[in-house]
Amino acid sequence: MDNYSREIRRQARITNKLLRLKTEQPFCIYCGMTDCRCLLRPDERSMLRCRNCDAKRRRWTTEALDQRLAAFQAAGYRTPACVACNESDLRTLECDHLAGEANSSFIEPLCLNCHAIKSDEAEDAPWASLRLRDPERSALVLQAAFEFGLAVVLGLYVAASSDDPSEAARTAFFGLAAAALIAWALWNLAANEHFTSILGPGYDKAINAEVPR
């Protein structure tokens, strides 16, 4: 799918989202978030709010929060916070599979808002097909999935830090890193197609080594 077609699909998703929100200029009544991908209306009588603010206003039991914290700690995050925007309220955090659950068990904490944006980005090709499970997926494609996921997270960090002048150098660096990761992922996908056309499907299975997941 070319860039024009991807942009058309993305705009169609945004338009449909705005129609569901019933406004062309949506924003969270609590924090002012304007990205429609993060916004919701709990019911017909409720005002719009972002996913993070909605989670903060729900009733949570101590047991539920303890279970959530234990899941992050088991994954190596003693004091979890969103890796993109640094939101640390446990009520807003989810375990996200960086490369997609179909490709890797590696997880990192993302807040609900950042997770919604990352999921939307994954709707576009070529990453869209990588969300589907494929036990025969090659090592190069698995690596591409990781690169796409990391690129999106870095992009989210850049977006969250863009208004902070003290972070200008860091955001510029990570913005370039995200672009490089996308280029690398596309190269890996192209290389996989090349080797498959020459050597046939499963060309990498002759390598007697387990692919890290």
Work out the average pLDDT over 177-189: 96
Q: Which residues contact 47 (CB under 8 A, 6 or more apart)?
A: 29, 41
Contact (CB, 8 A) for 189 and 144 = yes
Q: How far apart are the C-alpha atoms of 187 and 207, rounded to whole Å?
A: 21
Q: How far apart are the C-alpha atoms of 112 and 38, rounded to whole Å?
A: 8
Confidence of residue 45 (pLDDT cuts 50, 70, 90): confident
Please tell me the pTM assigned to this model.
Answer: 0.90
Map 117-148 to HEC letters.
HHHHHCCCCCCHHHHCCCCCCCHHHHHHHHHH
Q: How far apart are the C-alpha atoms of 64 and 195, rounded to whole Å?
A: 48
Label residue 36 exposed, middle or buried (CB < 10 Å: 0-12, 13-18, 19+).
Answer: buried
**Domain chopping of the chain, boundaries:** 1-58, 62-198
Cα dihedral sign, 70-76-78-79: negative
Between the CA of residue 53 and those of 22, 31, 48, 127, what are the distances in Å? Answer: 19, 7, 10, 29
Confidence of residue 2 (pLDDT cuts 50, 70, 90): low
How many Cβ atoms sit within 10 Å of the Cβ of residue 83?
20
DSSP output for 81-123: --TTT----GGGEEEEETT-TTT---EEEEEHHHHHHHHHHTT
Q: Which residues contact 162 (CB under 8 A, 6 or more apart)?
A: 171
Residue range 63-113, pLDDT digits in tens? 999 999 999 999 999 999 999 999 999 999 999 999 999 999 999 999 999
Average pLDDT, the chain: 92
| Residue with the larger pLDDT of the pair 14 and 125 | 14
Residue range 126-136, pLDDT digits in tens? 888 999 999 88
* Residue 110, both tokens: 């993302």
User: What is the pLDDT at residue 212?
Assistant: 62
